[in-house]
């Protein structure tokens, strides 16, 4: 059953995942969107402060989105996001890492006659290590009455 704005409450928490990233995918994403040496070149990455190849932060955010779409948004009446606050990258994501996501609804408010806005804190984890966090501002359709 799809999830509407009225089905979402402050304090709701859920866990989603998982997504395992390969060296090839890290390089492919970064060659297209973020071709800095520590994302595309294993030898240069080994000499960098990261000590090895790491995923672009935008790639980590995109993988987190995939986990959320599969687990949270696909069966909902989401109408897209207004934006994201406080996106932070704490630790790099490396080849072979498996990402999961945890969500907590921190605010809800009516937006207009048709939609409501939901603020969701999202944490991206590799095992128990939080590698990325953000607050998503998502519009959900109100239930038709």
Please say which residue, 53 or 63, places its beta carbon nearer to a second copy.
63
CA 40, 42, 48, 52 torsion-angle sign? positive
Dihedral of the alpha carbons of 64, 70, 71, 72, in degrees to the nearest 10 = 80
Please say which residue, 52 or 57, places its beta carbon nearer to a second copy.
57
Could you tell me the smallest distance in angstroms from the CB atom of residue 131 to a second copy?
A: 12
Give the integer Cα–Cα distance in Å for 100 and 104: 14
Could you tell me the smallest distance in angstroms from the CB atom of residue 71 to a second copy?
A: 12
Please say which residue, 57 or 95, places its beta carbon nearer to a second copy.
57
Could you tell me the smallest distance in angstroms from the CB atom of residue 127 to a second copy?
A: 21
Could you tell me the smallest distance in angstroms from the CB atom of residue 13 to a second copy?
A: 22
Residues in contact with a second copy by CB under 8 A are: 29, 32-36, 38, 49-50, 56-59, 61-63, 65-66, 69, 73-74, 78-89
Identify the burial level of 90 via C-beta atoms within 10 angstroms of its C-beta, where 0-12 means exposed, 13-18 middle and 19 or more buried. exposed
Could you tell me the smallest distance in angstroms from the CB atom of residue 73 to a second copy?
A: 7
Residues with Cβ within 8 Å of 143's Cβ and at least 6 positions away in sequence, in order, are 4, 5, 6, 7
Please say which residue, 69 or 107, places its beta carbon nearer to a second copy.
69
Please say which residue, 11 or 112, places its beta carbon nearer to a second copy.
112
C-alpha distances out from residue 97 to 19, 20, 25, 36, 128, Å: 8, 6, 12, 20, 12
């Amino acid at each position: 059953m799809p999830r509407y704005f009225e089905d979402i409450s402050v304090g709701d928490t859920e866990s989603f995942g998982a997504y395992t990233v390969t060296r090839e995918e890290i390089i492919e994403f970064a060659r297209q969107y973020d071709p800095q040496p520590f994302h595309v070149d294993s030898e240069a990455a080994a000499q960098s402060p990261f000590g090895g190849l790491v995923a672009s932060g935008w790639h980590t955010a995109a993988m987190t989105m995939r986990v959320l779409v599969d687990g949270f948004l696909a069966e909902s009446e989401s109408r897209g996001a207004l934006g994201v606050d406080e996106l932070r990258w704490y630790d790099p994501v490396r080849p072979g890492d498996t990402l999961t996501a945890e969500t907590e609804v921190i605010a809800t408010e009516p937006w207009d006659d048709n939609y409501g806005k939901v603020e969701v804190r999202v944490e991206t984890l590799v095992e128990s290590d939080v590698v990325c966090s953000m607050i998503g501002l998502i519009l959900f359709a109100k239930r038709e009455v």
